[in-house]
Amino acid sequence: MTTQTTPTIEQALAKGKQAFMQMSTLSTDQKNDALEVLATLIEQNSEAILAANQQDLSENKESLDSALYQRLKLDEGKMTQLVQGIRQLKTLEDPTGKILAVTELDDDLILTKKSVPLGLIGIIFESRPDVMPQILSLILKSGNAVAFKGGREAKNTNGAFMELVINAMTQQLDYLPEGWATLFETREDVQAMLNYSQYVDLIIPRGSNELVQSIMSKTRIPVLGHADGVCHQYVHPSADLDKALEVVIDSKIQYVSACNALETLLVDKAIAEKFLPSFAKRAKTEGITVHACEQSIGYFDDATPATETDWRTEYGSLTVAVKIVDGLEAAIHHINTYASHHTDGIIAEDKVAQQVFLASVDSASVFANASSRFADGFRYGFGAEIGISTARTHARGPVGLEGLVSYKFTLEGHHNLVRDYVGVTPERQFTHKIVK
Amino acid sequence: MTTQTTPTIEQALAKGKQAFMQMSTLSTDQKNDALEVLATLIEQNSEAILAANQQDLSENKESLDSALYQRLKLDEGKMTQLVQGIRQLKTLEDPTGKILAVTELDDDLILTKKSVPLGLIGIIFESRPDVMPQILSLILKSGNAVAFKGGREAKNTNGAFMELVINAMTQQLDYLPEGWATLFETREDVQAMLNYSQYVDLIIPRGSNELVQSIMSKTRIPVLGHADGVCHQYVHPSADLDKALEVVIDSKIQYVSACNALETLLVDKAIAEKFLPSFAKRAKTEGITVHACEQSIGYFDDATPATETDWRTEYGSLTVAVKIVDGLEAAIHHINTYASHHTDGIIAEDKVAQQVFLASVDSASVFANASSRFADGFRYGFGAEIGISTARTHARGPVGLEGLVSYKFTLEGHHNLVRDYVGVTPERQFTHKIVK
């Protein structure tokens, strides 16, 4: 059976790559019109999609824990938000076709650097079926093509999106090529997708840490993602301690399983005695479990002693590690050593301390006096989020449309020859005049 | 023995990553001063470096073919050019610390996106010892750290650069941290470097296709490189045929082993009869071997029939594949199917044909009426070249300083909490006002 599956996936991916070439030539108006059709089709088929989602929920009731169940569940509120997000994306600037730089290499030889769509994007996601329309909207706006691999637990919902929305769009808009968005469903499909680097230009895994790490280890295709989110807040001696407490609590409990939730709280030695008693009290009220360092454990009624492992752990639950640090530099050093370079913050009134922290912490998002939960594409104003990256190449932090574009150089000349520009006394000299 | 080598490499890489943190805080003046010291030290030690290079040349005389021998050889001309390139880089803008975007998420919550250095860069290179000072200059200007792995055949030259230039710089300038530039020399070092993704942020292989492909298959660290360069020129019916011939010849023979040299010549059916006789004559004079398609083979005295394999081959020698194509679209289709997406050109007087080609060919560099040999960081005005990328993510085409930077987001707030911005009737609304 497997030997029959593989060529089919290859054909589908080859077709997707072919479709990308056509998608990359769409005009901004065509792309925005397609976004409107996408929004309308979701509105019109909302009932059928929610019914398919109900079927997934009842089929998987036994096997999913409550967090996964929540992630699988769609409701009218989520559907309305989806449609709003798609319409917001219409108002954003087209990320492709932008002139990024122009240089005159010589009077008659002009180099232009222009943004272009990226290619065929492979999306591997679990549970959350709302990922599919979100990603579709970003794919359309940026002129790319997409191959989805959804989770088995959401197969009815994903199937409804595929049939009622994607297929309907492709029929309705003759400028959308067959195969611009496809859906795969088996595990074998994932590995096949990861192997075809000649067709797939970028892989974006959306799901658990295990999923992301497993994908990253199995492919040569660039992967946009974050394996973990060990995020910090550091309470500086100059902090307004009442406000600091609220920022810390929001960072920790506003949505505990999010990758940008607080995992390790660093408290400056100088204010530990003032801050930790109120934090301990509040933690108890909120039901937060504490793993505390040797110096801080005395402030808590029932904390567990923290070990080296805690500094590297993403709990993803109502647990937090607490550590007393000896000053700003020690805090920065701890973060640069143990953080996953996702999102880390300082809470301080002292402007100099803020600036030193913002400049020295080597993370994708570095905050002063703000909840770590703000690290998110929608909150950053990107309209939607293709993913969050802890890589340093290509795209970093919350990623919107800019993670879906590349660039190319065009050179327009008058039969210029390199041989005229080389040698000990070249006939012609480069001017390298920067026009833009 | 191997078990002892590994920890040493890990320690060196860990130190390199540590050094990066300090390098990333250098001011533009410090970086430019360091470039001047680099240039001066190369000038002052030129004789000793050339003597070390002579030793490499005589030790390897028997084992290297003439092309590799040429790549290994340094001379005064190359040294002067190196020093000029380093001084040119001083005049370029600092690529880090640039404010890329500013958004007010709310009146009191400001998001800033700023360019930052990339990290510890691993460079694996063969033969060409001039790669080392070139890369060093780009590393300094961009505030990164570097770990080199040089080829055994250049060990004396590389050692001289390490001792007389890098070590001397580090001693002379106390703001350069120990370990900002290190040199490894054994094969075991390469694999170790490829394994330590926690320290090395980007790998750049500079050498043969085999080297690049082997590196790409062995690491999870992002690789900036190009596995091959199957470059095309397409002669359109509107071309000025005399000038077209010169552009084709320059693209093919100006430096045959370069990745941007012409490999497949596409000739439009409409002008084949006029163009190919003069091309065949010139090819003979220049000693070019031709692998010709069925329709074109009759124009050549002693061409080999081209097979499917020829369309995907980078000869890297005085051989060219020739194919007659049936119009502009067929040419674009051939290139998008067989090219390595490196550099491809059209030769045409017709402006519309030029624009269609420039927009539709999916390659890093797309040319109209210019030799393919212009695809090069120095010629593009980047000062020096860290490599050429055929990837679509991160950096594409000839890459200068911009391939050595990333970005980070800083968010400056007033104790803003996410809980105030969510829910059915949130207390606060995002403004998402784009300031820059």
B432 touches chain A (CB under 8 A): yes
Instruction: Give the 3-state secondary structure of residue B95.
Output: coil
Mean pLDDT for all residues in chain B? 93
Element (DSSP H or E) covering residue A231: strand A231-235
The region of weakest confidence among A418-427, B63-72, B370-379 is B63-72
Nearest residue, CB atoms, A409 vs list B119, B397, B422: B397
pLDDT tens digit sequence for A227-251: 788 999 999 999 999 999 999 999 9
B430 touches chain A (CB under 8 A): yes
What is the DSSP annotation of A368-423? EEE-GGG-STTTTT-SS-SEEE--SSS--EEE-GGGGEEEEEEEEEEEE-GGGG-S
Q: What pLDDT is stored for residue A66 in this prediction? A: 78
Reply yes or no on whether the pLDDT at B115 is more than 70. Answer: yes
How many domains would you assign to chain A?
Answer: 2
Nearest residue, CB atoms, A407 vs list B222, B375, B396: B396
- Whether A299 and A317 share a structural domain: yes
Token pair for residue A314? Answer: 């993403």
**How many residues can be counted in chain B?**
436
Contact B379 A217 (CB under 8 A): no
Q: What pLDDT is stored for residue A2 in this prediction? A: 40
Task: Find the CATH number of the domain harbouring A342.
Answer: 3.40.309.10
Q: What pLDDT is stored for residue A6 in this prediction? A: 46
Is residue B244 in some structural domain? yes
Instruction: Give the 3-state secondary structure of residue B425.
Output: coil
Whole-structure pTM value: 0.89
- Chain A residues within an 8 Å CB radius of B392: 118-119, 201-202, 406
Question: What band does B6 get if pLDDT is binned at 50, 70 and 90?
Answer: very low
Reply yes or no on whether the pLDDT at B5 is more than 50. Answer: no
Q: What pLDDT is stored for residue A3 in this prediction? A: 42
pLDDT tens digit sequence for A362-415: 999 999 999 999 999 889 988 788 888 988 888 999 999 989 999 999 999 999
Is residue A179 in some structural domain? yes
pLDDT tens digit sequence for B198-243: 899 999 998 888 888 889 888 889 999 877 889 999 999 999 999 9
A426 touches chain B (CB under 8 A): no
Token pair for residue B202? Answer: 């980007």
State how far Cα A321 lies from the chain centre. Answer: 25
- Whether A17 and A158 share a structural domain: yes
**How many residues can be counted in chain A?**
436
Reply yes or no on whether the pLDDT at A86 is more than 70. Answer: yes
Which residues, 6+ apart, have CB-to-CB distance to A97 below 8 Å? A28, A114, A115, A116
- Whether A328 and A214 share a structural domain: no
With beta carbons less than 8 A apart as the criterion, state whether B55 and B156 touch: yes
Mean pLDDT of all residues in B76-101: 91
Spell out the alpha helix ranges (H) of A115-197: 131-142, 155-160, 168-172, 187-195
Token pair for residue B6? Answer: 């590994």
Instruction: Give the 3-state secondary structure of residue A343.
Output: strand
Which residues, 6+ apart, have CB-to-CB distance to B249 below 8 Å? B282, B286
Which residues, 6+ apart, have CB-to-CB distance to B285 below 8 Å? none
Which amino acid, B230? V
Instruction: Give the 3-state secondary structure of residue A321.
Output: strand
- Whether B30 and B121 share a structural domain: yes
Mean pLDDT of all residues in B151-174: 95
What is the maximum span of chain B, computed from C-alpha positions, in angstroms?
A: 82
Mean pLDDT of all residues in A278-286: 98
CA distance B128 to B71: 5
Q: How far is B219 from chain A (nearest CA, A)?
A: 8
Q: What pLDDT is stored for residue A208 in this prediction? A: 80
- Whether B171 and B235 share a structural domain: no
The region of weakest confidence among A29-43, B84-98, B108-122, B284-298 is B84-98
Sign of CA dihedral A74, A80, A81, A84: positive
With beta carbons less than 8 A apart as the criterion, state whether A241 and A278 touch: yes
Q: What pLDDT is stored for residue A4 in this prediction? A: 44
**CA angle, A363 then A364 then A367, to 5°:** 75
With beta carbons less than 8 A apart as the criterion, state whether B145 and B17 touch: yes
With beta carbons less than 8 A apart as the criterion, state whether A416 and B374 touch: yes
Nearest residue, CB atoms, A358 vs list B25, B392, B410: B410
Q: What pLDDT is stored for residue B299 in this prediction? A: 98
Q: What pLDDT is stored for residue A7 in this prediction? A: 52
Is residue B184 in some structural domain? yes
Spell out the alpha helix ranges (H) of A199-296: 209-217, 241-253, 269-286
Q: What pLDDT is stored for residue B7 in this prediction? A: 53
- Whether B7 and B82 share a structural domain: yes
Exposure b/e, A276-306, CB count within 10 A at least 16 = b: beebbebbeeeebebbbbebbbebbeebeeb
B410 touches chain A (CB under 8 A): yes
A230 touches chain B (CB under 8 A): no
Range of the domain at B133: 2-102+112-224+386-407
Contact B366 A250 (CB under 8 A): no
With beta carbons less than 8 A apart as the criterion, state whether B389 and B224 touch: yes
Token pair for residue A272? Answer: 């530990």
- Whether B124 and B47 share a structural domain: yes
Q: Which of A196, A187, A248 is nearest to A219 (CA)?
A: A196
- Whether A272 and A200 share a structural domain: no
- Chain B residues within an 8 Å CB radius of A109: 370, 374
Is residue B174 in some structural domain? yes
- Whether B165 and B199 share a structural domain: yes
Mean pLDDT for all residues in chain A? 93
Is residue B279 in some structural domain? yes
- Whether A369 and A392 share a structural domain: no
CA distance A196 to B239: 38
Contact B105 A373 (CB under 8 A): no
CA distance B303 to B309: 16
Strands A319-325 and A231-235 come out as unpaired
Sign of CA dihedral A12, A17, A18, A21: positive
| Owner of token pair 């002063």 | A368
Q: What pLDDT is stored for residue A379 in this prediction? A: 92
CA distance A170 to A147: 15
Q: How far is A242 from chain B (nearest CA, A)?
A: 10
With beta carbons less than 8 A apart as the criterion, state whether A367 and A376 touch: no
Contact B417 A359 (CB under 8 A): no
Q: What pLDDT is stored for residue A226 in this prediction? A: 78
Mean pLDDT of all residues in A127-154: 93
Nearest residue, CB atoms, B413 vs list A244, A366, A370: A370
Is residue A432 in some structural domain? no
Per-residue CA distances from B19 to A115, B7, B221 (Å): 34, 18, 19
CA distance A42 to A46: 6
Reply yes or no on whether the pLDDT at B369 is more than 90. Answer: yes
Reply yes or no on whether the pLDDT at B273 is more than 50. Answer: yes
Task: Find the CATH number of the domain harbouring A149.
Answer: 3.40.605.10
Is residue A146 in some structural domain? yes
Among A354, A374, A394, where does a domain finish?
A374
Q: How far is B401 from chain A (nearest CA, A)?
A: 13
Report A:5-64 residues touching B (Cβ under 8 A).
Answer: 21, 24-25
- Predicted ipTM? 0.90
Residue of higher predicted confidence among A5 and A245: A245
With beta carbons less than 8 A apart as the criterion, state whether B290 and B260 touch: no
Q: What pLDDT is stored for residue A65 in this prediction? A: 81
Question: What band does A114 get if pLDDT is binned at 50, 70 and 90?
Answer: very high
What radius of gyration, in Å, describes the C-alpha atoms of chain A? 25
Share of chain A above pLDDT 90, in %: 77
Q: How far is B204 from chain A (nearest CA, A)?
A: 13
Instruction: Give the 3-state secondary structure of residue B117.
Output: strand
What is the maximum span of chain A, computed from C-alpha positions, in angstroms?
A: 82
With beta carbons less than 8 A apart as the criterion, state whether A224 and A237 touch: no
Spell out the alpha helix ranges (H) of B291-327: none
State how far Cα A434 lies from the chain centre. Answer: 34
Reply yes or no on whether the pLDDT at A1 is more than 90. Answer: no
State which residue of chain A sits closest to B102, comparing Cα positions: A380
Sign of CA dihedral A408, A409, A415, A420: negative
**CA angle, B252 then B135 then A422, to 5°:** 35
- Whether B258 and B164 share a structural domain: no
Instruction: Give the 3-state secondary structure of residue B27.
Output: coil
Token pair for residue B90? Answer: 């001083």
A416 touches chain B (CB under 8 A): yes
Q: Which of A41, A272, A51, A34 is nearest to A142 (CA)?
A: A34
Is residue A380 in some structural domain? no
**Interface probe with A: pick from B89, B373, B412, B434, most Cβ of A within 10 Å:** B412
Spell out the alpha helix ranges (H) of B231-362: 241-253, 269-286, 328-338, 351-360
CA atoms within 13 A on the CB side of A429: 4
- Whether B195 and B271 share a structural domain: no
